[in-house]
Every structure is written in structure tokens, then in C-alpha cells.
């Protein structure tokens, strides 16, 4: 097995046989969102649309406040944890923090260090609790905004799901501050909490911790400023203080325009399809399994991973798309669909040249390669009769300056 079976965009080595005219490529600094489910809880697919919408709304909020700049976010994946609910919840919910940090570290997810991602965990069952890895060399003084790199390293944020659970149950409102049964029981507060905790990973403290006048007392939002770092229940009408904006605009994570940097293959119309091919994506009208991810076989015994967007190809199947002009990074996770059985081989070709080949399930894992068009992007599978390959969250990142 090439690497941990988890589609978090981590770049793993590409087999030498797969490197013809394409080169292994790196992905941009980004937030990696994961819907986490304890091992012994059933996955509630009704929550998925809320999490997908929340990530999009938070990106749009940052773009508005920062006048056009926001962060890149990978497509959401679903992770069934290796731990049970009781192991994670313990007696006071604080065990969620170290156990999940260790789990994703063991999986090889680079959420620490100078090249790390911001790992955003949206955790089913974690209650009205949230936190972030804030020891990130962040701001100690307001005057340091824009002058230090604090916040440009990897980070870790965990968001509980009581708001989403209440939304699914119909007891939490989808708008308005004062209509919930509790302050956190609100769609606005859920999105504001995600925005707030991500802000900590980018090195922003609570503003009352570094205010010039330490005798001013508790932060008063109407008087001192409606910043999401103190007043996140006011989302989406809250904002960021001037020095907070200056700091974020200086970080390597804030280079994106509001529109996504990539296109998902599962949402692109193929030019040709042969045999057993399925394109899966969330929110397809009238589908009974609309929000169920495509699960891949887990070879580690450490949990499981599912993809809301997936290209599933059976033995002797093939699918192709028109590859736009210019160079892109093709990123995906390869695996065998859970329950399919057997083994096979997936080949990715550009205009007839093989750029990626993997024997599955043995070589399951993440891939990122540079591909250049125009031309035809072709995926083909050979293998045993019941075998089905999954190309999870496959996406084409455009290079800077290209559409």
C-alpha cells in the first residue's frame, strides 16, 4: 500500500511506472474539511448538506470581509473514526481533542509544520463544543499584523454538531440570533463558530487578549467591534477588525478568489463512457441515496473513508472528459469500492499518454499529478469481474493565472 487511505489531498509518491510525461505536483495551501463519525454511530447523511453549505458560506464570508480574498478548501470527505463515541467523549468531551489529533497524525495528514494544511473536523456527536490549535505563533500585539508569518503553518480545528443535529431535528432555526432554544442552537452560530475557530488556526487571538487597554473590561461587541473572533454568534453580519484583516491578507492561505479553484470530475459532463461507470455527487435530485458517500475498502483497520464526489468504474469500464487548455493539477484518492472485491488496475491517460497507473487495492492512496491540455482525459479500469475502482473527490486545480 502506497500510503494511508484517506482523501485529504496529501501528496504521496507516484509510482515510477506512472510518470511518463506528467510530473508529481503539489497542491495549494488549503483547508481540509472532514465530517467525522465515531466508529459505533451510524452516519447521518442528512447532516451532509449543512456541512457542505457551511464551508461554502464561510469561504464567501471571508471573501466579502477581505474584499475578494479567501482560502482554498478541499472537497469534504467523511471519516469513520477508529474510536467509539464513549472513547472520544470520555467524561467531559475534552478527549475528542487529543484522540482525533493523534488519529489524523497516525494517518499521515500534515496538519503541523510549515507545509501543513488546516484540518477542519466537523464531528458528529461532539456536542456544543469547539476548539482550535492556537499555539501557532500568532499575533501577540496588534502592531504585528502583516509583519509576521504566524498562522501560515498547519492547524487543527474541531467543531461539534449540536447545531446541525438541531437543524436536522427541526428544533434549531436556520436564521436569526434569538430564536434558538440555546445560543448555539442556530445555523448562523454554527457557521460563525467554524469561521471563529479557523481564525485561531490563522494566528488570530480573541481581541480582548491583546487590546491596548487591559483595564477596559470584557469585550462588548456593539461598543468595541463586531469581530467574529469575539462575536461569532453574529454571523454573517459580523466582521473582522482592521488589524485582523491585515494579518489574514498577509498569509499564504489567502490567495483565492471566491469561486472554487478546482473543478470536480464528478460534476463535469463526460464526452464518452463505456461499461459500468457511475458519477456520484451530493444533492442529485430524486436520488434515494443522495447524500450517501461512496466508501472505499479500508486496508489499515484504522477506520474508513467515504467520498461525496466520486467516479466509480467497474472492470473493463472507461470514461473520458475534454481536458481544457493549459496545465492543471489532477488530485484524487484511489481505492476499491467497499464490497466490490477482487483486484484491478486503474490507468489515467492524457491524449494516449499514461500519466498515472495503480494496481488496486494494493496501491490505494492519494495522488496529485500535473496534466496539460487541451486534449482528452481518459480513465480506464481492467480487473476481475466484481472489481470496482473509486476515484474519490477527483478534481482539476487550475494553475494561477489560468481559468
pLDDT digit string, tens, across residues 308-324: 999 999 999 999 999 98
7 located within any domain: no
Backbone angles phi, psi at 300, to 5 degrees: -100, -20
328 or 2, which is more confident?
Answer: 328
Written as nine digits, the cell of 201 is 488556526
Inform me whether the pLDDT recorded for 115 exceeds 90: no
Q: Quick check: 88 and 96 in contact, CB under 8 A?
A: yes
Q: Quick check: 264 and 256 in contact, CB under 8 A?
A: no
- Find how far residue 390's CA is from the centre of its chain: 18
Model pLDDT, residue 262: 92
Highest mean pLDDT among 8-22, 47-61, 91-105: 47-61
Return the DSSP state at 73.
B
Report helix, strand and coil shares of the chain as percent, to nearest 5: 20, 30, 50
Of 159, 132, 123, 39, which Cα lies nearest the Cα of 87? 39
CATH code, 283: 2.60.120.1060
Written as nine digits, the cell of 217 is 473590561
Of 220, 222, 162, 163, which Cα lies nearest the Cα of 187? 163
Say if residue 81 is in the same domain as residue 220.
Answer: yes
Model pLDDT, residue 136: 62
Say if residue 235 is in the same domain as residue 299.
Answer: no
Return the DSSP state at 367.
E
Say if residue 246 is in the same domain as residue 267.
Answer: no
Say if residue 232 is in the same domain as residue 86.
Answer: yes
65 or 170, which is more confident?
Answer: 65
104 located within any domain: yes
Question: What would the mean pLDDT of 255-272 be, rounded to a whole number?
Answer: 89
365 located within any domain: yes
Q: Which of 233, 256, 279 is the last residue of a domain?
A: 256
Inform me whether the pLDDT recorded for 363 exceeds 80: yes
244 located within any domain: yes
- Find how far residue 294's CA is from the centre of its chain: 16
CA dihedral 212, 214, 219, 220 (to 10 degrees): -80
Looking at the chain, the whole-number percentage of residues with pLDDT higher than 90 is: 60
Written as nine digits, the cell of 392 is 474519490
Dump pLDDT digits (tens) for 4-52. Answer: 333 343 332 233 233 333 445 688 899 999 999 999 999 988 899 899 9
Q: Give the span between the Cα atoms of 342 and 297, in whole angstroms.
A: 11
Inform me whether the pLDDT recorded for 387 exceeds 60: yes
Say if residue 44 is in the same domain as residue 190.
Answer: yes
22 located within any domain: no
Model pLDDT, residue 298: 82
340 located within any domain: yes
Say if residue 134 is in the same domain as residue 173.
Answer: yes
CATH code, 85: 3.40.390
Looking at the structure of the chain, the number of domains it has is 2
Q: Give the span between the Cα atoms of 199 and 202, in whole angstroms.
A: 5
Say if residue 297 is in the same domain as residue 158.
Answer: no
Q: Give the span between the Cα atoms of 320 and 265, in whole angstroms.
A: 10
Residues 6+ apart with CB under 8 A from 209: none
Say if residue 249 is in the same domain as residue 317.
Answer: no
Q: If you average pLDDT over every residue of the chain, what do you get?
A: 85
Dump pLDDT digits (tens) for 148-179. Answer: 888 999 999 999 988 888 888 888 877 655 45
Backbone angles phi, psi at 319, to 5 degrees: -150, 145
17 located within any domain: no
- Owning domain of residue 156: 29-256
Work out the pLDDT band at 137, boundaries 50, 70, 90. Answer: confident
Say if residue 39 is in the same domain as residue 172.
Answer: yes
Model pLDDT, residue 18: 32
pTM for this prediction: 0.89
| Angle, vertex CA 282, rays to CA 278 and CA 284, nearest 5 | 75
SS3 for 89-104 is HCCCCCCHHHHHHHHH
Dump pLDDT digits (tens) for 184-227. Answer: 788 898 999 999 999 999 999 999 888 887 667 788 999 999 99
114 located within any domain: yes
Model pLDDT, residue 172: 82
Taking the CA of residue 351 as centre, how many other CA atoms within 13 Å lie in the half-sphere pointing to its CB?
11
Radius of gyration of the chain measured on its C-alpha atoms: 22
Q: Give the span between the Cα atoms of 399 and 403, in whole angstroms.
A: 8
Q: Which of 256, 277, 311 is the last residue of a domain?
A: 256
Q: Which of 200, 227, 256 is the last residue of a domain?
A: 256
Q: Give the span between the Cα atoms of 108 and 341, in whole angstroms.
A: 26
Model pLDDT, residue 323: 93
Model pLDDT, residue 285: 44
- DSSP sequence for 1-60: --S-S--S----PPPGGG-SS--B-PPPS-EEEEEEE-TTS---GGGHHHHHHHHHHHHH
Work out the pLDDT band at 398, boundaries 50, 70, 90. Answer: confident
Say if residue 160 is in the same domain as residue 61.
Answer: yes
Q: Quick check: 391 and 319 in contact, CB under 8 A?
A: no
Say if residue 271 is in the same domain as residue 374.
Answer: yes
Model pLDDT, residue 138: 86
Say if residue 246 is in the same domain as residue 187.
Answer: yes
Amino acid at each position: 500500500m502506497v500510503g494511508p487511505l484517506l482523501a485529504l489531498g496529501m501528496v504521496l509518491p507516484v509510482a515510477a511506472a506512472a510518470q511518463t510525461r506528467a510530473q508529481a505536483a503539489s497542491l495549494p495551501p488549503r483547508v481540509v474539511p472532514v465530517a467525522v463519525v465515531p466508529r459505533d454511530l451510524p452516519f447521518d447523511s442528512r447532516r451532509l448538506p449543512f456541512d457542505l453549505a457551511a464551508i461554502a458560506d464561510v469561504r464567501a464570508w471571508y471573501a466579502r470581509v477581505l474584499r475578494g480574498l479567501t482560502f482554498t478548501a478541499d472537497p469534504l470527505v467523511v471519516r469513520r473514526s477508529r474510536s467509539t463515541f464513549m472513547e472520544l467523549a470520555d467524561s467531559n468531551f475534552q478527549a475528542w481533542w487529543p484522540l482525533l489529533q493523534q488519529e489524523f497524525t497516525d494517518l499521515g495528514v500534515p496538519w503541523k509544520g510549515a507545509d501543513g494544511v488546516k484540518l477542519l473536523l466537523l464531528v458528529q456527536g461532539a456536542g456544543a463544543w469547539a476548539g482550535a490549535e492556537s499555539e501557532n505563533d500568532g499575533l501577540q500585539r496588534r502592531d504585528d499584523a502583516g509583519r509576521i508569518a504566524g498562522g501560515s503553518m498547519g492547524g487543527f480545528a474541531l467543531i461539534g454538531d449540536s447545531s446541525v443535529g438541531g437543524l436536522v431535528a427541526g428544533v434549531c432555526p436556520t436564521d436569526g440570533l434569538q430564536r434558538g432554544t440555546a445560543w448555539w442552537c442556530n445555523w448562523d452560530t454554527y457557521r460563525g463558530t467554524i469561521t471563529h475557530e479557523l481564525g485561531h488556526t490563522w494566528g488570530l487571538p480573541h481581541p480582548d487578549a491583546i487590546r491596548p487597554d487591559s483595564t477596559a473590561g470584557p469585550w462588548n461587541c456593539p461598543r468595541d467591534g463586531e469581530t467574529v473572533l469575539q462575536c461569532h454568534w453574529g454571523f454573517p453580519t459580523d466582521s473582522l477588525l482592521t488589524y485582523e484583516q491585515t494579518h489574514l491578507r498577509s498569509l499564504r492561505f489567502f490567495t483565492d478568489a471566491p469561486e472554487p479553484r478546482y473543478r470536480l470530475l464528478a460534476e463535469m459532463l463526460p464526452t464518452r463512457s463505456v461499461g459500468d461507470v457511475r458519477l456520484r455527487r451530493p444533492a442529485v435530485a430524486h436520488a434515494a441515496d443522495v447524500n450517501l458517500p461512496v466508501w472505499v475498502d479500508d486496508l489499515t483497520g484504522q477506520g474508513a473513508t467515504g467520498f461525496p464526489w466520486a467516479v466509480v468504474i467497474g472492470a473493463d469500464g472507461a470514461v473520458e472528459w475534454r481536458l481544457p487548455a493549459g496545465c492543471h493539477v489532477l488530485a484524487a484518492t484511489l481505492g476499491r469500492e467497499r464490497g466490490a472485491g477482487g483486484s484491478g488496475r486503474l490507468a489515467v491517460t492524457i491524449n494516449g499518454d499514461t500519466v498515472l497507473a495503480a494496481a488496486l487495492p494494493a496501491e490505494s492512496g492519494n495522488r496529485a499529478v500535473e496534466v496539460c491540455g487541451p486534449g482528452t482525459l481518459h480513465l480506464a479500469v481492467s480487473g476481475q469481474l466484481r472489481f470496482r475502482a473509486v476515484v474519490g473527490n477527483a478534481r482539476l486545480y487550475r494553475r494561477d493565472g489560468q481559468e
